[in-house]
Amino acid sequence: MVTKPGMDGTTKAKLMLLGSAFCWGLSWPMQKIALEEFTPWSVRIIGFSVGAACLFAIIILQGRPFTAPRGRAWGHVFVSGLLNVAAFGLFSTFAQLDASTSRVIIINYSMPVWASLMAWLILRERISMNAAIGLALCVLGLTILVYPVASVKTPIGLWLALGCSLSWAAGTIYLKWARIEGDLISMTVWQIFAGLVMLSIGSLIFQGPPTFHSAELETWLALGFAGFFGNGIGYFLWFSILGKLPTTTASLGALANPVIGVLGSMALIGETLTLSDMIGFALIGTAALCVLLQRRTPPAVSVSAKT
């Protein structure tokens, strides 16, 4: 009897990469739906809590180590939680209150360009010709995106989206410098915990104690999707493929995230792209591609995905 050959590891990893792209990409419009009835603070606290619980369950089921960071590692976890969880989460959600989700997504994924620039400034890594071209294209793309909005009103949402991208880049470079040792998923959960502590304190100061009201079922489902898939399953799939695919392949595959996010925003919340949006998207996507094509260093232990 002839049996069908099983799926090889590389094919499985590519399917997991596609799955992570859908988890992260679709989380953007889902968060926008959740923001119709919840504040940015509540969206992020609930979402990250659900994601952390999901990852913790995976750690238990797979028997992974969950040792708490020791000594200076606690400081590194705190800083990375501030940049990759608290700052990233707040910038991205507050940005969606003032700007279209599609534009926020496009600007957010300029991150590889800023990370390359920060690596030159902080880690003294050489800026290649690819990175220089990417930086020029990124600035041009941002200008094309921001100018039409700035001519009508102050583009607060777009500046917040840029802050989101910069905090993600800074968190990635910091983790590359800190080199926190440990299981990737376990360290991600600790970073999310640290970020949740900061988000909770900020929420108490600026919003008051959290309140749970009778939101529409659609809103709860959207928030649950963003938390479970965006902050849980998405990270698990991503870290699962890092050891199975070349870094460049995984990084380039991650460029599907903004494409799915923009298409999802058009399908789920009825957004449309203007000509300047499409040009800006193409330029920033090309800029990120230029940078990723010349990167050869392994990724840092980071929760930088993102949604």
Q: Which 3-state string (H, E, C) describes 149-182?
A: HHCCCCCHHHHHHHHHHHHHHHHHHHHHHHCCCC
Q: How large is the C-alpha radius of gyration of the chain?
A: 19
Residue 215: strand, helix, or coil: coil
What pLDDT score does 305 carry?
52
pLDDT for 10 beyond 80: no
In the chain, % of residues over pLDDT 90: 59
Structure tokens at 286: 């090309």
What pLDDT score does 199 carry?
95
What pLDDT score does 298 carry?
46
Q: Are 103 and 266 in contact (CB under 8 A)?
A: no
Domain assignment present for residue 9? The answer is: no
What pLDDT score does 264 carry?
95
What pLDDT score does 108 carry?
93
Lowest mean pLDDT among 69-73, 149-153, 270-274: 149-153
Would the pTM count as exceeding 0.85?
yes
**Whole-number average pLDDT of the chain:** 87
pLDDT for 8 beyond 80: no
pLDDT for 133 beyond 80: yes
Q: Quote the number of domains for the chain.
A: 1
Check residues 291 and 166 and name the one with the higher pLDDT.
166
Residue 182 gets the label, from left (phi > 0), alpha (psi -120 to 50) or beta, of left
- Give the domain range for residue 56: 15-293
Q: What is the mean pLDDT of residues 156-177?
A: 93
Give the C-alpha separation, 219 to 32, whole Å. Answer: 9
What pLDDT score does 306 carry?
64
Domain assignment present for residue 59? The answer is: yes
Domain assignment present for residue 299? The answer is: no
Domain assignment present for residue 8? The answer is: no
* pLDDT bucket at 236, cuts 50 / 70 / 90: very high
Domain assignment present for residue 302? The answer is: no
pLDDT digits (tens, 9 = 90+) for 14-29: 888 899 999 999 999 9
What pLDDT score does 87 carry?
96
Q: What is the mean pLDDT of residues 272-286?
A: 92
Lowest mean pLDDT among 71-85, 90-104, 242-256: 242-256
Domain assignment present for residue 305? The answer is: no
Give the C-alpha separation, 99 to 277, whole Å. Answer: 12
Domain assignment present for residue 217? The answer is: yes
pLDDT digits (tens, 9 = 90+) for 80-124: 999 999 999 999 999 999 999 999 999 999 998 998 889 889 988
Q: Are 193 and 114 in contact (CB under 8 A)?
A: no
Give the C-alpha separation, 88 to 108, whole Å. Answer: 10
What pLDDT score does 299 carry?
46
What pLDDT score does 255 carry?
84
Structure tokens at 102: 């599609």
pLDDT for 78 beyond 80: yes
Angle (nearest 5°) at CA 160 between 159 and 162: 65
* pLDDT bucket at 137, cuts 50 / 70 / 90: very high
In the chain, % of residues over pLDDT 70: 91
Domain assignment present for residue 303? The answer is: no
Handedness of CA 217, 219, 224, 225 (dihedral sign): positive
DSSP 110: T
pLDDT digits (tens, 9 = 90+) for 260-274: 999 999 999 999 999
Give the C-alpha separation, 117 to 291, whole Å. Answer: 10
